Amino acid sequence: MTQNSENTLKIAHQGFEDFTHGLATGEWNDFLNMLTEDFTFWFPNGEYHGLNVGKQKAKEFFEYVSQAFNSQLIITSVERVTSNDTTVVFEFRDEGKRMGEPYKNRVAISFDVREDKICGYREYFGSDGKSN
């Protein structure tokens, strides 16, 4: 493993911890502080479907997620972590209530790392959210 991929993994793990905290509590500051100003993210559906650009857009998005899940979307297990020099993918399961309805999903998120920040994020759904 090169130095670069070690750093990438370290930063991504810190980011994932802050992301997990954000989903579980609605407190996104630590995660947002890890993002570059030119951060981009892709989301599978709804009003943020497709490519979204900028840290401000990310802030709005994660607040929207926490509203939808009443700040209680819990990552119940992390199934796999894979990486290369610049990117780390987390496969996990989450569970909560979306707009009051039971929600469970299998999810893959892919973080791109630049130096000590996360500069990109792609989310993929392994289910329809009704069960995993």
Q: What's the closest the beta carbon of residue 116 comes to a second copy, in angstroms? A: 19
- Please enumerate in sequence order all residues whose Cβ is within 8 A of that of 86, keeping only pairs 6 or more positions apart, or say none: 4, 8, 112, 113, 114
Q: How many residues can be counted in the chain?
A: 132
Q: Which of residues 76-105 bind a second copy (CB under 8 A)?
A: 79-84, 87-89, 91
How many residues form the binding site for a second copy (CB under 8 A)?
Answer: 29
Instruction: Give the integer Cα–Cα distance in Å for 131 and 110.
Output: 22
Q: What's the closest the beta carbon of residue 132 comes to a second copy, in angstroms? A: 7
Judged by CB under 8 A, which stretch of 18-26, 55-63, 68-76, 117-125 contacts a second copy?
117-125
Q: What does the DSSP 8-state code read for residue 49?
A: B
By rule CB under 8 A, what string of x and - marks binding of each residue 40-69 to a second copy? --x-xx---xx-------------------
Tokens matching residue 63: 């607040």
Cβ atoms of 112 and 38 closer than 8 Å: no
Instruction: Give the integer Cα–Cα distance in Å for 43 and 58.
Output: 11
Judged by CB under 8 A, which stretch of 15-23, 32-40, 65-73, 118-126 contacts a second copy?
118-126
Q: Write out the residues near a second copy by the rule CB under 8 A.
A: 1, 42, 44-45, 49-50, 79-84, 87-89, 91, 106-108, 110, 122-128, 131-132
